[in-house]
Structure 1
Amino acid sequence: MKKIFISTIALLSLLSLNSCTDLNENVLDEASASGLTDKQAADGNIAPVYARLPDVFTHTTYFAIQEISTDEAILPYRGGTDWGDNGIYIAMHQHTHTSTDPNLRNTWLLLAQGISRSVTALNTLPTINDPNVKTYIAEARGMRAYYNMLLLDLFGLVFVKNDPQSNSEILRGEQALEYVKNEFLAAEPDLLTTVGPGRLTKGAVWGLLARLYLNAAVYRDRFGAQFTFKPEDMDKVVEYCDKIISSGQYQLSPDYFSIFNDNNHDNKELIFAVDQRAELNGHNRLAYFSLSGDQFPLPAFPGANGTDGPAITPDFYRTWTSAYAPSDPAGTDPRFYKKNMNIPADSCVAASDVVMDRGILRGQQYGLLRVNGAFVRCGNNYRIGKLFNVTRNRPTLPVNFTEQVDFTVAGSNYSTGYRVLKYEFGKKSQSGRNLGDADISIVRLADVYLMRAEAKLRKSNDAAGALADVNTVRAARTAVKPAPALTSMNLDLLFRERGFELYWECLRRTDMIRFGKYEGTWTEKTNADRQKRIFPIPQTAIDGASNIPGYLAQNPGY
């Protein structure tokens, strides 16, 4: 009797990658699956493969460890009462994190579950008679490679697994790199080009292969004093970037912040993204994470606000000001800031006119005034005024974002640090913590141009070619006056440009390591230990695999 395995349950931990814990599956034979079509069975196997992505990209998992570990973001113990979390965000920023960090553990588990779900799909889909199966198998294989690619980048290893009942093989270094590369190459021929950024496509795999080759020198020699970028790797970066650019399928967006709007699923700049549309119950919290607890973006929802989370560091802010001095970057580079609420302070406005500014938010903030849980009204309109930290029981402390932010008492209050509202606050979100519809970019066209520019510099010091690629991106943002063209290019300038274009997009740690800047010094961080380039394997995973001697060794330095 034919059996259909429907992988609808999460696979629980690293141990779901080996025989220590059985896979949890619903097994349906033809009788019990009455009414289930082959299409439903196929869809029911590929959907769980993608379902881990929104959780991987939540504010306290992949985002936190990719951004708060760098010079781009800092999260102090706000007011001495919020975001303390036993010091994990301070430790992450200072590179003193340990193997018991819950955010590292959760990220590890989600990636392990993603791999396990991919393995289940790869074993089940061939038994289903549906025309989509060939494509779904390619997607599952490519997603298994992508989850492993993140494990390689973060933890220095990959899991090779084909049979759900067998132990995974663990690879590191060159072997791990080759495995991920070959899996992407095997998946690519059967992928489609027309299913949108929320699924793995040929373009997505090309972009991920370009990123893999660009970081290959790091993955081969994780703790090297210098990285050796092989010319043949850089040729591959250029090759895959050329494929994407010449396909004509993707376009640089004239309006920079529209790439991160609530309705961005059809934005032509997105190549691969976490699909967060409302019908999928998206929960993009990247807007909520940095805003003040007294910023309420939505007149319809008086419970939807920020949480006074991370700010940008003064160090990162000064890369902007030094680049454009004596001009203000807000009036020079459209990626820095977008003014949306063009109204005088202490005004009455229609609900439709309450649209938050975007980008890097500085100084005194204005917005909807809230008293006893309700917004102050002016007839049918809403009162806009100067904001204070009322929700923090500090009603005389203005919501006035300052450049300085650190781990001192003064540097940790609720208003320290310039904040980031890059992704639009979800328009349907009753709390700021749910229904965030903005798809989260994984690969987009601007990054492709910048990767190609970097490969040109690293292979042959082709500064002219790299400069042309960088200026193509800068010139594309024509919704307002674009940033001025640069006149020269080198690796330091390119690193700065990647910061301007890709801030808050979960790429900073990987970039800093590749450019040799991760052991540097910035606000509240002096640790120069190269072994911190990868994170510790969570202690729970080490403990769980302890019945197989030598199976899972901890990373050096932890």
Structure 2
Amino acid sequence: MKKIVISTLLLSGLLFLNGCTNLEENVLDEASAAGLTDKQAADGNLAPVYARLPDLFTHTNYFTIQEISTDEAILPYRGGTDWGDNGIYTALHQHTPTSTDPNIRNTWLILAQGISRSITAINTLPTINDPNAKTYIAEARGMRAYYNMMMLDLFGLVFAKDDPQGVSEVLRGTAALEYVKSEFLAVEPELLTTVGPGRLTKGAVWGLLARLYLNAPVYREPYAAQFTFKPEDLDKVVEYSDKIISSGQYQLSPDYFSIFNSDNHTNKELVFAVDQRAELNGHNRLAYFSISGDQFPLIAFPAANGTDGPAITSDFYQTWATAYAPRDPAGTDPRFFKQNATIPADSCVSDFTMNRGILRGQQYGLLRVAGAYARCGANYKVGKLFYVTRNRPTLAVNFTEQVDFSVVGSNYNTGYRVLKYEFSKKSASGRNLGDADISIVRLADVYLMRAEAKLRKGDAASALADVNLIRAARTSGTPAPALASMNLDLLLRERGFELYWEMVRRTDLIRFGKYEGTWTEKTNTDKLKRLFPIPQTAIDGASNLPGYLKQNDGY
């Protein structure tokens, strides 16, 4: 009788997520899935492998631990009333998190569940007589490798396991790196090139392999005083980057912010992405997280607003300001800011679209009175915004450069904000129905990885050419001026300009030897903080296997 696994038992999932990996799968016979075709059964086994990606990339999970732990983002206790959360965002920024941090725990749980679901699919799909099964097995195995790669990056370990009834082997260091690498290499021949950025393709695996080889010295020795970049690893970065670039499938987008628009699923710059289309139950939180609670982007939904979350640090802003001084980066680099509306005070509009990028100074927008938009005839009144929703109607929504953890520095208006992903036109609350796919690997990053590999091998001219190619490609506004030279500091700066708010900053800073640096409200230089603590719940859950899950050093 044909066996179909519909889902992983809640119990088995909890066992895995808490660290003990002796899973018991819930296997149902075909009578339990009456009416399912083989294709439906195959699709139904692959879908759970990808299903938690939107949750993983939500604002308080992977985004938070990759960005707020760096010089790029800071989240103060806003006005003494919002985002206090028992100090977890302060601790994350200052590199003093603990093993009970809920955002770290949630990220761990989702990654662990992704590995568990992948194992279930790998073991079930061979029993289904569908022509897609072979490709689906490769995707599930590749996604298991991807989730493990994230585990390796964040926590310094991977879980190697094939048999759902077995116990995962915990690998660290070189063994972990080689395991992930071998899994990607094994599945690459079976993957497709025609299914779009929301599924694992050949291009996606090439991009992930390039990233894996580039970070190989960190993954081998995460606490090394200095990382050793092997020439053979850097050659592989170039090789896999070249495969993507020469495939002809991907193109740099002339309009930088279109990469993050609601309709970006077909944007050819995306190589691998979280499929966030609203019909697939995406969410909108990367758009609403940073902007003000008194910024209401949608005429159709007067309850959809921001949450006054993280801002960029003055340190990160100054990398832009000093790079282009005395010119304003907003008029010099189209990646910094895109103006969609010029709004004189107290005017009327029939439609409204928020500006994008890094938002500075006084903000203008739709005005509300008693929860409804102010009208002027058939149109809508716009003007200077104040913090009415925060019961501070005399405090202007005037974003300042300075932001810190002091009382003054943590007020609602402090810190320049980021609206990179388009605010979904379907989001009734600002927290739901996000249409924009979230980039995991895109072509510009591929060029920058190739540039870094070449630079580390001594070929500064080729690295400079790759960086300037990206700059010249953004032609929807005046392209950023070409650079005249290239070194590692400039390349890290360029990665910040191109990839800010895209959840790569922590990994970049570690690889470039900058994570122990000093920036606003952060002076911790402990290299043991390069890895996050394994959640205490995971260690406790594995307590029946003595020594199985050891806490990372420094926690």
Category of TM-score, reference length = shorter chain: over 0.9
Gaps of 5+ in 1: none
Within-5 A mapping of 1:112-511: 112-351=112-351, 354-459=352-457, 461-511=458-508
Distance, in Å, in 2 between the alignment partners of 1:375 and 1:217 is 55
Distance, in Å, in 1 between the alignment partners of 2:84 and 2:32 is 50
Distance, in Å, in 1 between the alignment partners of 2:461 and 2:51 is 42
SS of 1:31's equivalent?
helix
Distance, in Å, in 1 between the alignment partners of 2:273 and 2:9 is 23
Is this contact kept in 2: 1:8–1:45, CA < 8 A? no
Distance 1:366 1:19, change over 3 A: closer
Q: State the AA in 1 paired with 2:411.
A: N
Q: How far 1:9 sits from its partner (Å)?
A: 6.1
SS of 2:33's equivalent?
coil
Q: How far 1:337 sits from its partner (Å)?
A: 0.3
Distance 1:265 1:220, change over 3 A: same
Q: How far 1:18 sits from its partner (Å)?
A: 6.7
Q: Of 513, 527, 538, which residue of structure 2 is paired with 1:530? A: 527
Is this contact kept in 2: 1:210–1:236, CA < 8 A? yes
In the alignment, structure 1 residue 39 sits paired with structure 2 residue 9: no
Distance, in Å, in 1 between the alignment partners of 2:477 and 2:84 is 40
The residue that corresponds to 1:557 in the other structure is 554
- 1:302-358 CA-to-partner distances (Å, cap 9, x unmatched) read 11000000000000000000000000000000000000012322110002xx00000
Distance 1:14 1:336, change over 3 A: farther
Identity within the alignment, %: 82
* TM-score normalised by the chain length of structure 1: 0.98
Distance, in Å, in 2 between the alignment partners of 1:254 and 1:270 is 13
Is this contact kept in 1: 2:16–2:116, CA < 8 A? no
SS of 1:12's equivalent?
helix
Q: How far 1:426 sits from its partner (Å)?
A: 1.1
Q: How far 1:16 sits from its partner (Å)?
A: 5.1
The residue that corresponds to 1:512 in the other structure is 509
Q: State the AA in 2 paired with 1:401.
A: F
Q: State the AA in 2 paired with 1:315.
A: D
Q: How far 1:6 sits from its partner (Å)?
A: 1.5
Give the alignment's Cα RMSD to 1 decimal: 1.2
Distance 1:432 1:243, change over 3 A: same
- 1:340-391 CA-to-partner distances (Å, cap 9, x unmatched) read 012322110002xx00000000000000001111000111111001000000
Distance 1:47 1:17, change over 3 A: farther
The residue that corresponds to 2:71 in the other structure is 71
Distance, in Å, in 2 between the alignment partners of 1:388 and 1:198 is 39
Comparing 10-19 and 361-370, the one that deviates more: 10-19
Q: How far 1:23 sits from its partner (Å)?
A: 4.0
SS of 2:125's equivalent?
helix
SS of 1:79's equivalent?
coil
Is this contact kept in 1: 2:18–2:109, CA < 8 A? no
Distance, in Å, in 2 between the alignment partners of 1:23 and 1:61 is 27
Q: How far 1:13 sits from its partner (Å)?
A: 4.0
Is this contact kept in 1: 2:19–2:549, CA < 8 A? no
Is this contact kept in 1: 2:18–2:538, CA < 8 A? no
Distance, in Å, in 1 between the alignment partners of 2:336 and 2:258 is 13
Q: State the AA in 1 paired with 2:554.
A: G
SS of 1:170's equivalent?
strand
SS of 2:286's equivalent?
coil
- 1:462-518 CA-to-partner distances (Å, cap 9, x unmatched) read 110000000000000011110000010011000000000000000000000000000
Distance, in Å, in 2 between the alignment partners of 1:32 and 1:57 is 33
Is this contact kept in 2: 1:118–1:141, CA < 8 A? yes
Distance, in Å, in 2 between the alignment partners of 1:15 and 1:276 is 27
Q: State the AA in 1 paired with 2:174.
A: E
The residue that corresponds to 1:12 in the other structure is 13
The residue that corresponds to 2:98 in the other structure is 98
Distance 1:392 1:531, change over 3 A: same
Q: How far 1:5 sits from its partner (Å)?
A: 1.2
Is this contact kept in 1: 2:251–2:268, CA < 8 A? yes
Q: State the AA in 2 paired with 1:376.
A: A
SS of 1:442's equivalent?
strand
SS of 2:163's equivalent?
coil
Distance 1:218 1:20, change over 3 A: closer
Distance 1:153 1:19, change over 3 A: closer
Distance 1:408 1:74, change over 3 A: same
Q: How far 1:24 sits from its partner (Å)?
A: 5.6
Is this contact kept in 1: 2:65–2:92, CA < 8 A? yes
Distance 1:16 1:96, change over 3 A: closer
Distance, in Å, in 1 between the alignment partners of 2:480 and 2:511 is 26
Is this contact kept in 2: 1:261–1:424, CA < 8 A? yes
SS of 1:359's equivalent?
strand
Distance, in Å, in 1 between the alignment partners of 2:417 and 2:120 is 41
SS of 2:31's equivalent?
coil
Q: How far 1:34 sits from its partner (Å)?
A: 2.0
Q: State the AA in 2 paired with 1:462.
A: D
Distance, in Å, in 2 between the alignment partners of 1:15 and 1:50 is 17
Q: State the AA in 1 paired with 2:486.
A: M
* TM-score normalised by the chain length of structure 2: 0.98
Distance, in Å, in 2 between the alignment partners of 1:2 and 1:486 is 61
SS of 2:290's equivalent?
coil
Q: Of 505, 512, 537, which residue of structure 2 is paired with 1:540? A: 537
Q: State the AA in 2 paired with 1:242.
A: D
Is this contact kept in 1: 2:17–2:109, CA < 8 A? no
Is this contact kept in 2: 1:207–1:448, CA < 8 A? yes
Is this contact kept in 1: 2:99–2:534, CA < 8 A? yes
The residue that corresponds to 2:2 in the other structure is 2
